């Protein structure tokens, strides 16, 4: 149990520490931002980066929640059998 918690903490810590490196764009997004910046609009980039992070994080967060509840249910079921 303690090993699993250590791995979870290490994983979350790694994700948090590498967050600045994750803020990147695909070629089309980069072209859109460069076009908007050349026209004087500099606010699009921040919103686009947040959207990319949201799309990146959502599936992992959903799977983590499902795994957590599955683990809790399995642990409770195992405790009831003994």
Residue 70 and residue 63: Cα distance in Å, rounded? 10
Residue 70 has pLDDT above 90, yes or no: yes
Residue 22 has pLDDT above 70, yes or no: no
Residue 29 has pLDDT above 80, yes or no: no
Residue 64 and residue 58: Cα distance in Å, rounded? 10
Pick 66 or 14 by higher pLDDT: 66
* Ranges of each domain in the chain: 19-81
Confidence of residue 78 (pLDDT cuts 50, 70, 90): confident
């Amino acid at each position: 149990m303690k090993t699993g918690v250590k791995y979870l903490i290490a994983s979350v810590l790694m994700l948090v520490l590498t967050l600045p490196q994750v803020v990147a764009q695909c070629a089309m997004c980069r072209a859109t931002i460069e076009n908007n910046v050349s026209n004087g609009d500099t606010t699009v980039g921040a919103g686009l980066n947040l959207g990319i992070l949201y799309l990146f994080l959502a599936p992992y967060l959903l799977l983590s929640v499902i795994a957590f509840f599955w683990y809790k249910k399995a642990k409770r079921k195992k405790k009831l059998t003994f």
